[in-house]
Structure 1
Amino acid sequence: MILIADSGSSKTDWRIINKSGDISQHRTVGFNPTYQTEHEMISVLESDEKLTGMATDVSKIYYYGAGCSSEKMKHQVNLSLSGVFPNAAIEVDHDLLAAARATAGHEPGIVSILGTGSNSCFYDGRDISVSMHAPGFILGDEGGGSYVGKQFLKDFIHNEVPSKIRKLAIEELNLNYDEIIDRVYKHAFPGRYMASFCRFITKYQADPYCYKLYYEAFQDFFKKYVMKFDEYKSQKIFFVGSIAFYNSDILRQAGSDLGLDVSMILEGPIAGLTLYHKSKL
């Protein structure tokens, strides 16, 4: 049995390929070794009955994850998976490689992720040849969900959200200052919490304020990441991630206004990754 995992900070999509080649799917919470220890990841995996029920039958795991850009972080994830799947040979790679394989295939181009967080790389058609540093939601994540959500919460606290949207946020989200401060400063995974408001912002993306939140965040992303690659205007540009996918019109407009043409936007890479690995069986 083979497991393929595409893990972001908020969720992990799993595909299970059994001996007969049949494919099934599963979803768990996300993992990121930047914010979680080996033991914390093991604890979450062991709490999932579907995964533990097949643990000894898994012979191979292809894991692509947020935060897996360094050998240290890859090793940490490998140890965590080994602790749950004792018989599996495990390969851990960066989520950017997953995005590149799913979108660009064997073509070169600039590949980016806009989900809870954000990241970007240049893919030469086989490997990631240049990648940007991704400092996380405190120091970066321009264009990502935590970045957009953080700006929304700041505007809410300072009473700078237009009255119509502010009223809707209070009614639909029961949003208030004390709750925001408690969740951001006293609970785990504040980045996920801030990104969670993007569902609301996307729902009302036609409103000028919500549109502008995304538009400016996307332009920040293009300037901070994409426009720093050599010859960026002549490269194909690919995106993966829920923020990019569900706000694709705004993303394309933000890029177009900077002279950039976005080639493809996918919600997630897992289907492409499954085909990629199944073809090698």
Structure 2
Amino acid sequence: MILIADSGSTKTDWRVMDATGVYEQVLTAGINPQYLESAQIHSIFEAELLPNLKEKNPDSIYFYGAGCSSPDRNLRVEQALKKLFPDSEVFIDHDLLSAARAICGHKPGVACILGTGSNSCLYDGRNIVDNVPSLGFLMGDEGSGAYLGKMLIRAYLYRELPEELGITLKNRYSLTKQGILNSVYDSDMPSTYLATFAKFMHEKRKDPVIHAMIYQNFDEFFEHHVCKYKGYTEIPVNFVGSVAFHFSETLHQVAKKYGVHIGTIITSPSDGLIAYHQELLSQSV
């Protein structure tokens, strides 16, 4: 039996599996070791995970999580799990690997996350072998919902949107300059705020001005990320995330410009991640 966790800062999706398939799902609070110490993580596991496992003891635990990007952070999660499951093998890795395994499976490919933020990697069918760094909200995040929102709001404030479109946007979100600046510069989650405008852009995606922004957003992602990977035109480029999924038509247009073959586009890694580990389990039986 194995236990798989796909964790973000808000929630963690746990799946209990054996060689016959998934037979239990548990949801707990999100675990991000960038912000939580090992004792805090252990408390969440003990209160929310352990009672739902009903004394099941996994042979192996695979924890993929936001913030699991350095040995010291990963150790915090590992220590918390080992206190509860001392006999289990524990594997901790970044959520980028879970995305790669979910959308590429056991085959090589480029794996891309396009949601609130963005990230990408070159994947050999089992592990990440190259990663153009994700520079985050201030310096990067090309291709993401936050980047889309930043483009839209900047155009609005600079009075570069068509008048009717600008009025619609202002009324829809009750926008004021000071309100926007407060939400971006004084908020703990400016990326989340900016990404909320992606919904408006999807609704107005046929407008030439909006379409040009969406196209540019993806064009910059391909230029700065996808095209940096060796053999990117020879292997599938796969995507996970709401922005990739809902703007897939424009994503395909940009991919064609760069001679890229898009493989899989999904909104969430869960099902693909289950399939990846299910295949590993079946091979070991």
| Counterpart for residue 216 of structure 1 | 216
Q: C-alpha deviations, 1:214-245, integer Å up to 9, x for none?
A: 11010100010111112222121111111101
- Between stretches 152-161 and 244-253, larger displacement belongs to 152-161
- Between stretches 53-62 and 140-149, larger displacement belongs to 53-62
Q: Secondary structure at the match of 1:260?
A: coil
Alignment pair present for 1:37 and 2:38: no
Q: C-alpha deviations, 1:80-139, integer Å up to 9, x for none?
A: x549x8447543212221122112112111111111111111111121111111121111
Q: C-alpha deviations, 1:32-85, integer Å up to 9, x for none?
A: 55xx42159948x85xx8658638857455322234333233234546x549x8
1:224 is matched by which residue type in structure 2?
H
| Counterpart for residue 24 of structure 2 | 23
1:74 is matched by which residue type in structure 2?
N
Alignment pair present for 1:194 and 2:194: yes
2:240 is matched by which residue type in structure 1?
V
Bigger-Rg structure (1/2): 2
> What is the deviation of 1:162?
2.2
| Counterpart for residue 258 of structure 2 | 258
Alpha-carbon distance change, 259 to 39 in structure 1, aligned in 2, over 3 angstroms: same
Q: Secondary structure at the match of 2:233?
A: helix
1:101 is matched by which residue type in structure 2?
R
CA distance in 2, matches of 1:96, 1:123: 10
Contact 1:15 1:274 in 2 (8 A): no
| Counterpart for residue 134 of structure 1 | 134
CA distance in 2, matches of 1:248, 1:220: 15
| 1:206-245 correspondence runs (5 A) | 206-245=206-245
Task: Give the share of equivalent positions with the same residue, in percent.
Answer: 35
Contact 2:15 2:22 in 1 (8 A): no
CA distance in 2, matches of 1:113, 1:187: 24
User: Where in structure 2 are there 5+ consecutive unaligned residues?
Assistant: none
> What is the deviation of 1:251?
0.6
* Matched residue count: 274
| 1:19-168 correspondence runs (5 A) | 22-24=23-25, 26=27, 33=33, 36-39=34-37, 42=40, 46=44, 54=52, 59=57, 61-78=61-78, 82=81, 86-87=84-85, 90-168=90-168
CA distance in 2, matches of 1:185, 1:148: 17
Alpha-carbon distance change, 258 to 178 in structure 1, aligned in 2, over 3 angstroms: same
1:54 is matched by which residue type in structure 2?
N
